[in-house]
Amino acid sequence: MKRRRGTSLIELLALMSAASAVLTLGAALVHRTMTAASQGRATRAEETAAWRLAEALRRDAAGATAAEWSADEGLLVLTVPERDSVEYRFAPPEVERRHPQGNGNVALEAWTLESVAGWTVDTASPGVIAVEAEPSSRPTPAAAPVALRVVARLGLSSQGGRP
């Protein structure tokens, strides 16, 4: 004769507690994973934009002989000898690069950095420009505000190009 008809109340309570703990942890983890995936995408986009902007600034500064910064307009003009100047317009969260091609066309490139509240551009040092991003205090989709500081030499590529 079987004496066991079912589970006891204690067993049932213990199992339900364990199950609810594991399921709560699982649900929290799923939510955290989805948030992390979203943050990861935003961070990746910001980092890529920062990397490409820094690269463009260094390349353009190397080919330029002079730099002029207008804080009111947020406009940085890099003078390139025998060619049209390259313009960078800093209007957070966007940075726009305009480069006339000489045939009437303009090469336009733009980067969006959501975690940047403003820009500091310093052209006071001779032959060097410094561009620094001011992090935003607002919550941003990225995990942390992008850190970007570019100090670039002017006219590097016109100095002979010797390695």
Exactly one of 13, 71, 91, 144 binds other proteins (CB under 8 A); that residue is 144
Sequence-separated contacts (24+) of 69-73 with Cβ below 8 Å = 69/121, 69/122, 69/123, 69/129, 71/121
Q: Binding mask 58-77 vs other proteins (x if CB under 8 A, - otherwise)?
A: x-------------------
Decide: is 34 part of the binding site for other proteins (CB under 8 A): no
Distance (Å, rounded) from C-alpha 71 to C-alpha 141? 28
> Which CB sits closer to other proteins, 9 or 108?
9
Residue with tokens 């820009």: 119
Exactly one of 59, 89, 98, 153 binds other proteins (CB under 8 A); that residue is 153
Exactly one of 81, 134, 147, 157 binds other proteins (CB under 8 A); that residue is 147
Decide: is 121 part of the binding site for other proteins (CB under 8 A): no
CB under 8 A: which stretch of 3-11, 67-75, 77-85, 91-99 binds other proteins?
3-11
Exactly one of 9, 32, 80, 82 binds other proteins (CB under 8 A); that residue is 32
| Phi, psi at 13, each rounded to 5° | -65, -40
Distance (Å, rounded) from C-alpha 112 to C-alpha 92? 8
Size of the chain in residues = 163
Peptide bond into 93 cis (omega under 30): yes
> Which CB sits closer to other proteins, 24 or 101?
24
Angle formed at CA 73 by CA 109 and CA 79, multiple of 5 degrees: 60
Based on the number of CB atoms within 10 Å of its own CB, is 86 exposed (0-12), middle (13-18) or buried (19 or more)?
A: buried
Q: List residues binding other proteins (CB under 8 A).
A: 6-7, 11, 15, 18-19, 22-23, 25-26, 29, 32-33, 36, 40, 43, 47, 50-51, 54, 58, 127-128, 143-144, 147-153, 156, 159-160, 162-163
